[in-house]
Structure 1
Amino acid sequence: MRIGAHLREDTDPLGMAAELGIDLFQMFVTDPQSWKKPAPNPRAQEFRESAIDVVVHSSYSINVASLNNRLRMPSRKAVEQQAEAAADLGAFGLVVHGGHLRDGEDRMAGFVNWHKLFERQVDKGGFGVPILIENTAGGDHAMARTLESIDRLWSEVGEFEQAGFCLDTCHAWAGGEDLIGLVERVKAITGRIDLVHLNNSRDEFDSRRDRHANLESGRIDAAVLAEVARTADAPIILETPTEDIPADLTYLRDRL
């Protein structure tokens, strides 16, 4: 099992990953709050040749499900550009949030927009890396909060080879999904889990709040989180508060 962490602000992620003794790390390739096109990374060859794997998290502004052309179109472009930048680093995937619609909009149209994202890219030869769709924490109009919505989403994207799934435990808890047996229920829908964001939650079950906590300091039983990690059979990324990531790594290694 490969275990790693999101390295948020470190200027030398490979060095920090080696210091932590992790197998992989997650990073952004551009400002996560902007639409700026990723610049070439001067250390790309070093990333590609490293034994430490990398996965890229896309910008938070991306919403490919949107019915608003002024948001959906730049979102599609940003996914394409950031997947290309991820490929240049030798990353194994680009994590993209499921997105959401506005009140009163047709949810089915949002799921279809996800289909169109992959369908349009097929004509261009595909994305640089697989797109790992991540479940989200809140919003009645979210595309990937509940298992029911993930099921509807997968009916639109499951046919595409480059469509993968990232399971976030804090998001699932905050979205009202019981973590016990969740891995099996997700795999029954998607047939796969390509990455796990293993995070505890600062808030109560079904809170709709996306506030991460370290593994042993949140509202979720840490043993349940360890069981998710064990059964998912996928790489693990911690997105927990930075100062206690070493303790989180120790906890996981002791149990897995």
Structure 2
Amino acid sequence: MRIGAHVRQDDDPIGAGEALGAEVVQLFLTDPQKWNKLTPHPKAEQIRDSPIDVVVHSSYVINVASLNNRIRIPSRKSVTEQAKAAADIGAIGLVVHGGHVRDGEDQAEGFANWRKLFEREADKGGFAVPILIENTAGGDAAMARRFDDIARLWDEVGDFGAGFCLDTCHAWAGGEDLVGVVERVKAITGRIDLVHLNNSRDEFNSARDRHANLADGTIDAAVLAEVVRTAQAPVILETPPEGLADDLAYLREAL
């Protein structure tokens, strides 16, 4: 079990990770709010050679499930390209949000679009790194907010070896109890490849994705530590930077 954080210094993720004493770091390889073209990371060799593991978080604009061709098609392309770029720096996986369809659209088509992504890539030999689908906090037409929907998604992508990233804030905000959450997820997906360990600024089932430091949110910090203990997967903290060092210290002591 390796513990670390999402680092804001994308230009020097290893330096930021070393300063935190992290064993794993997460970073973006491009502006997450835009469709920017990827460029090689200037410190790719240092990242590959470091003993610190690296996870890449894909852009937020990606929505593989979308029924809109102008969103879905560039999303598919971006997942493939960002997975290749992640492999180029030796990353252990690419985190991709589950996405959504619009209100009134058929969710079944969104799940089918996820399957098509994996089918298309399987025909080309597969993704360059594992794709870790992350549960999300809000939206009644989301692919991965509620666990019954994640089960429908896994019926489409599980056979392709899709990985799973469990975000504790997202699950809480999405209306899923965190007590016993690891067992419930594994009963659906068979796996948890990464944990995004975050407290929440908002109440249970709020559908709001606002992270808090471990000791400051509405989730009992002991429950969060138990998620880590039972998941036995790498852990990334995405908590506010002013309390990040304290979060790492708390988690290490709790474990």
TM-score bracket relative to the smaller structure: over 0.9
AA aligned to 2:174 is G
1:106 and 2:121 correspond: no
Question: Shift in Å at residue 10 of structure 1?
Answer: 5.3
TM-score by length of 2: 0.99
Provide the rounded CA distance (Å) in 1 between the counterparts of 2:11 and 2:104: 43
Question: Shift in Å at residue 31 of structure 1?
Answer: 0.5
Question: Shift in Å at residue 37 of structure 1?
Answer: 2.1
Provide the rounded CA distance (Å) in 2 between the counterparts of 1:11 and 1:84: 18
Q: Contact 1:37 / 1:78 at 8 angstroms: preserved in 2? A: no
Structure 1 outlier segments of 4+, above 2 Å: none
Provide the rounded CA distance (Å) in 2 between the counterparts of 1:156 and 1:234: 24
Provide the rounded CA distance (Å) in 1 between the counterparts of 2:26 and 2:242: 16
Q: Contact 2:11 / 2:43 at 8 angstroms: preserved in 1? A: no
Match of 1:41 in 2: 41
Provide the rounded CA distance (Å) in 1 between the counterparts of 2:127 and 2:36: 18
Match of 1:19 in 2: 19
1:212 and 2:211 correspond: yes
Question: Shift in Å at residue 11 of structure 1?
Answer: 3.5
Question: Shift in Å at residue 42 of structure 1?
Answer: 2.2
Moved more, 180-189 or 7-16: 7-16
* Deviation by residue 1:142-163 (Cα, 9 ceiling, x = unmatched): 00000100000000000002x1
Equivalent pairs, count: 255
> Secondary structure in 2 aligned to 1:159?
helix
Provide the rounded CA distance (Å) in 1 between the counterparts of 2:98 and 2:13: 26
* Deviation by residue 1:20-65 (Cα, 9 ceiling, x = unmatched): 1110100000010011121001211111111000000000000000
Gaps of 5+ in 1: none
Q: Contact 1:37 / 1:82 at 8 angstroms: preserved in 2? A: no
Match of 2:190 in 1: 191
Match of 1:166 in 2: 165
* Deviation by residue 1:106-148 (Cα, 9 ceiling, x = unmatched): 1001001000000000111111101000000000000000010
Match of 1:232 in 2: 231
Moved more, 182-191 or 10-19: 10-19
AA aligned to 1:208 is A
Moved more, 243-252 or 8-17: 8-17
Question: Shift in Å at residue 180 of structure 1?
Answer: 0.1
Match of 1:139 in 2: 139
Match of 1:59 in 2: 59
Q: Contact 2:10 / 2:27 at 8 angstroms: preserved in 1? A: no
Question: Shift in Å at residue 241 of structure 1?
Answer: 0.2
> Secondary structure in 2 aligned to 1:158?
helix
AA aligned to 2:226 is E
Q: Contact 2:10 / 2:28 at 8 angstroms: preserved in 1? A: no
Provide the rounded CA distance (Å) in 2 between the counterparts of 1:42 and 1:216: 36
Question: Shift in Å at residue 103 of structure 1?
Answer: 1.1
1:116 and 2:120 correspond: no
Match of 1:241 in 2: 240
Provide the rounded CA distance (Å) in 1 between the counterparts of 2:33 and 2:62: 9
CA RMSD of superposed structures (Å): 0.7
AA aligned to 2:235 is I
Q: Contact 1:57 / 1:95 at 8 angstroms: preserved in 2? A: yes
Gaps of 5+ in 2: none
Provide the rounded CA distance (Å) in 2 between the counterparts of 1:134 and 1:56: 12
Q: Contact 2:4 / 2:22 at 8 angstroms: preserved in 1? A: yes
Match of 1:85 in 2: 85
Q: Contact 1:201 / 1:211 at 8 angstroms: preserved in 2? A: yes
> Secondary structure in 1 aligned to 2:56?
strand
Question: Shift in Å at residue 204 of structure 1?
Answer: 0.3
Q: Contact 2:10 / 2:29 at 8 angstroms: preserved in 1? A: no
